[in-house]
């Protein structure tokens, strides 16, 4: 059974999840190519995944049959389990708790041969709908503190299956990266009574050098101090702390900009592996006034090495001004 | 010219270093094997590196000639430059400063075909001597706040040259990971008047399940909440905040344990790529009472994916108790 442990020096939780050690691809530096092999996410193989939690499919068609356009299923090798406990235990100076959580897979399309950015806008919109529905469902469970939605695209970015999908992990803690943003955003708000992300957008619109693309509802920027080359963030232009409370009339606009930006990255960097993740409000924290949800996209072009691991300071060979200019100039 | 930039939301510095973009291996997901190609770190090629800063060589032999047992040279593609400025500038809500620093390479042996752990103990001891000498020399430059010493072994761990070497980057800031440890250690000391690392070692010696190896001066433990499988820390058993003030009579003991632990990792995980880095006191901070230097070794067996990047929470498929037991049981 998995458990969460906290480093006694820095406040960093880790998930010790020995179940995941069973995955055949772990501990192998030479990954098999998954192209052409059996794919549990394709039509006809619905019985090879755990039963679906949510699916967009023709009215009346039975669950776990073919014909769907999007499916959400439990991860077959979950990092955390819904049966886990939240009981917190001290072991001398150490802290741990049971491995409670949920780990789901969003199969974004039945098409095995296309990446998310190659799918029609409707598929991306469906994907955001599914994120929103799962957030709204899982937040009813008051044991959860945070839901992290993310995507690993391509094997160097950590994907173990090729078929386009994203993932969701519900956690009984607020993870460090989100906690840091929240603390900083709250401090800014207490001092200025403004959202730090709204201030940041105001400055970016005044400068424009780091803006990649925008539309009526959203803007894509290369952040001022990016850790990685071509790191790009997508934020709503209006203040909004919670992705799932976002007014779903904005999803077509988000889907349009998201596809646009991913397509620029794909074309400029020659279809790189990438990760993205959603930073939205924790479930049990009142932060609507000062937090601002956003999606961070990280193309995988460099390797994390000893300096970055040991310092937390990243060396980035491409300035965000150059990255944004190059992405803006892509002819789609 | 490189510059340092600070993220306006979380206090994370990044180095924007476009010089490094010139390195031929960047932006390529398919790395050429470097075996058999020209190696600037081998005997006879001393003129292909910048001139040496330090070398262990027979008395009377000229600088930058062959015959050395260890060489320290400036990195040919430095992330930061000694000619950089420390001038701090605000740009609206953003902060930046010039890319002042030093970036050096410690060529640990003339042997191209051996990894650090395959070299004789004397080579590892020389390596620690060189780290110590460079720390003592660079700390005279009061513009520097921290010196990060690290190693990338193997291409998946970020190495761009095969020949065994480690690196050093002197920074005009204290990087985030070290800063976090310092803040936590100071808080613990203010409350208890004890070193948190000494307390941690006392608990580990009481338990013993996570101890990999020890000798008269040093101990190797798999930490309680490790981010990565087989992550192993080496710490002095006695309280010591500064690696370079460590009493060099301890280096033979450190070399012996370090070679032992790296050899166990090599044998158990089949010569994996790995990183290690030294966490020692910042240069301009008085923290001798509460900080405790240590080396963290990270075998590269898993990929950092979207969940870890977005959350800062790591999923580790191997508990430190199992990792330590497996490493202890290796027959060397």
Q: A199 contacts in B (CB within 8 Å)?
A: 93
Write out the two tokens for A144. 């959860």
Per the DSSP assignment, residues forming a β-bridge with B56 are: B70
Nearest-by-Cβ selection for A313 from B176, B197, B229: B176
Q: Which CATH architecture does the domain made up of B177-328 adopt?
A: 2-Layer Sandwich (3.30)
Which chain B residues are closer than 8 Å to A307 by Cβ? 79, 148, 150, 167, 169, 277
Q: At what angle do helices B121-138 and B251-268 cross, to 10 degrees?
A: 120
Partners of A299 in the β-ladder = A274
For position A75, what pLDDT does the model report?
A: 94
Q: How many residues does chain A have?
A: 332
CATH code assigned to A3-175: 3.30.428.10
Contact, B218 vs B253, CB < 8 A? yes
How far is Cα A162 from Cα B330, in angstroms, rounded to an integer?
36
Could you tell me whether strands B314-316 and A165-171 are parallel, antiparallel, or unpaired per DSSP bridges?
Answer: unpaired
- Give residues 10 to 29 of A whose Cβ lies within 8 Å of B: 10-21, 23, 26-27, 29
Residues of A annotated as part of the active site: 165
What band does B24 get if pLDDT is binned at 50, 70 and 90?
very low
| pTM of this structure | 0.94
The minimal CB distance from A199 to the residues B13, B93, B300 is found for: B93
Dihedral angle computed from the Cα positions of residues A176, A177, A178 and A181, in that order, rounded to the nearest 10 degrees: 120
CB atoms inside a 10 Å sphere around CB B226: 26
pLDDT, mean of residues B238-247:
88
Q: Which residue has the tokens 């300035």?
A: A319
Q: Does residue A232 sit at the B interface (CB-CB below 8 Å)?
A: no
* Mutation for testing the A interface, residue in B101, B150, B276, B317 having most A CBs under 10 Å: B317
Please list the residues that pair with A232 across neighbouring strands. A297
CA distance B163 to B154: 10
Average pLDDT, whole number, for chain B? 92
Q: How many residues in chain B?
A: 332
| pLDDT at residue B20, as a whole number | 55
Q: From the list B15, B92, B313, which residue is nearest A316 (CB)?
A: B15
Whether residue B224 and residue A150 make contact (CB cut-off 8 A), yes or no, is: no
Report the residue of chain B nearest A151, measured CA to CA. B306
> Exposure of B37 by Cβ count < 10 A (0-12 exposed, 13-18 middle, 19+ buried)?
exposed
Q: What is the pLDDT of residue B22?
A: 52
72-131 in chain B: CB under 8 A from chain A: 79, 91-94
CA distance A237 to B143: 41
Please tell me the distance from the alpha carbon of residue B98 to that of residue B89, in angstroms, as a whole number.
9
pLDDT value, residue A180: 95
pLDDT at site A82: 87
Two tokens, residue A183: 């603390």
**Count of C-beta atoms within a 10 Å radius of residue A67:** 12
Alpha helical stretches, state H, chain B:
121-138, 176-192, 196-207, 251-268, 306-311, 320-328
Question: Quick check: B218 and B254 in contact, CB under 8 A?
Answer: yes
Which B residues, 181 through 210, put their C-beta within 8 Å of a C-beta on chain A?
A: 181, 184-185, 196-197, 199-200, 203, 206
**What's the complex ipTM?**
0.93
Partner A contacted by B331 (CB < 8 A):
no
> Where are the CATH 3.30.428.10 domain residues in chain A?
3-175, 177-328
Sheet holding A146-153, edge to edge: A54-56, A70-74, A102-107, A165-171, A146-153, A274-279, A294-299, A232-236, A218-221, A211-214
Q: Do B14 and A316 touch (CB under 8 A)?
A: yes
Residue B26 pLDDT exceeds 60: no
Confidence of residue B227 (pLDDT cuts 50, 70, 90): very high
Residue from B170, B187, B265, B250 nearest B215 by CA: B250
Helix ranges, B57-172 (H): 121-138
B287 touches chain A (CB under 8 A): no
Nearest to B6 by CA among B174, B178, B209: B174
Q: Residue B304 is nearest to which of A199, A223, A304, comparing CB atoms?
A: A304
State the pLDDT at residue B303.
84
Chain B residues in contact with A273 (beta carbon < 8 A): 29
Fold annotation for B3-176 = HIT family, subunit A (3.30.428)
Give B131's Cβ-side CA count (13 Å radius). 30
Both structure tokens of B142: 């009061």
**Spatial CA neighbour of B101 closest among B185, B187, B175, B162:** B175
Distance CA B102, CA B132 (A): 16
Residues of A in contact with B311 (CB under 8 A): 146, 148, 169, 171, 175-178, 277
Tell me the torsion sign for CA atoms B316, B319, B320, B322. Answer: negative
B273 in A contact zone (CB under 8 Å): yes
Per-residue model confidence (pLDDT) at position B275: 97
Model confidence pLDDT, tens digit, residues B178-190: 999 999 999 999 9
Q: CA B280 to CA A258: how far, in whole Å? A: 43
From first to last of its 332 residues, what are the pLDDT tens digits of chain A?
799 999 999 989 999 998 655 544 444 333 344 455 789 999 999 999 999 999 999 999 999 999 999 999 999 989 998 887 778 899 999 999 999 999 999 999 999 999 999 999 999 999 999 999 999 999 999 999 999 999 999 999 999 999 999 999 999 999 999 999 999 999 999 999 999 999 999 999 999 999 999 999 999 999 999 999 999 999 999 999 999 986 668 999 999 999 999 999 999 999 999 999 999 999 988 899 999 999 999 999 988 899 999 999 999 999 999 999 999 999 98
A239 touches chain B (CB under 8 A): no
Judge: A304–B158 Cβ closer than 8 Å, yes or no: yes
What residue spans in chain B does CATH classification 3.30.428.10 cover?
3-176, 177-328
| Chain B residues closer than 8 Å to A315 by CB | 14-15, 17, 20, 79
Q: Give the whole-angstrom CA distance, residue B141 versus residue B285.
A: 14
Phi, psi torsion values for A147, nearest 5 degrees:
-125, 115
Distance in angstroms (rounded) separating the CA atoms of residues A184 and A191: 11
Instruction: Return phi, psi of residue A232, to 5°.
Output: -135, 135
Left (φ > 0), alpha (ψ -120 to 50) or beta: where does A302 sit? beta
Q: Among A175, A197, A316, whose Cβ lies nearest the Cβ of B16?
A: A316
Helix, strand, or coil (residue A245) = helix
């Amino acid at each position: 059974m998995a458990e969460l442990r906290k480093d006694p020096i820095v406040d960093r939780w880790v998930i010790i999840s020995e179940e995941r050690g069973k995955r055949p691809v772990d501990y192998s530096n030479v990954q098999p190519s998954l192209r052409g092999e059996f794919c549990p996410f394709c039509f006809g193989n619905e019985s090879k995944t755990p039963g679906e939690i949510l699916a967009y499919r023709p009215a009346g068609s039975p669950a776990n049959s073919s014909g769907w356009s999007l499916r959400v299923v439990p991860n077959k090798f979950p990092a955390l389990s819904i049966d886990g406990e939240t009981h917190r235990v001290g072991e001398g100076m150490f802290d741990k708790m049971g491995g409670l959580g949920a780990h789901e897979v969003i199969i974004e399309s039945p098409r095995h041969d296309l990446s998310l950015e190659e799918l029609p806008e409707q598929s991306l919109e469906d994907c955001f709908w599914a994120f929103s529905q799962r957030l709204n469902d899982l937040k009813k469970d008051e044991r959860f503190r945070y839901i992290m939605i993310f995507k690993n695209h391509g094997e160097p970015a950590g994907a173990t299956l090729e078929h386009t999908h994203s993932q969701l992990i519900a956690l009984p803690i607020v993870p460090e990266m989100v906690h840091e943003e929240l603390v900083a955003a709250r401090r800014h708000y207490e001092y200025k009574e403004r959202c730090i992300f709204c201030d940041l957008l105001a400055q970016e619109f005044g400068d424009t050098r780091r803006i990649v693309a925008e539309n009526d509802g959203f803007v894509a920027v290369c952040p001022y101090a990016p850790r990685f080359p071509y790191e790009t963030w997508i934020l709503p232009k209006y203040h909004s702390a919670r992705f799932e409370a976002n007014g779903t009339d904005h999803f077509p606009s988000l889907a349009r900009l998201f596809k646009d930006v991913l397509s620029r990255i794909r074309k400029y960097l020659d279809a790189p592996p990438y990760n993205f993740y959603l930073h939205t409000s924790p479930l049990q924290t009142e932060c609507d006034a000062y937090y601002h949800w956003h999606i961070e996209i990280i193309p995988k072009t460099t390797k994390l090495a000893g300096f970055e691991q040991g310092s937390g300071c990243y060396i980035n060979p491409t300035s965000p001004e150059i990255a944004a200019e190059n992405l803006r100039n892509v002819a789609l």
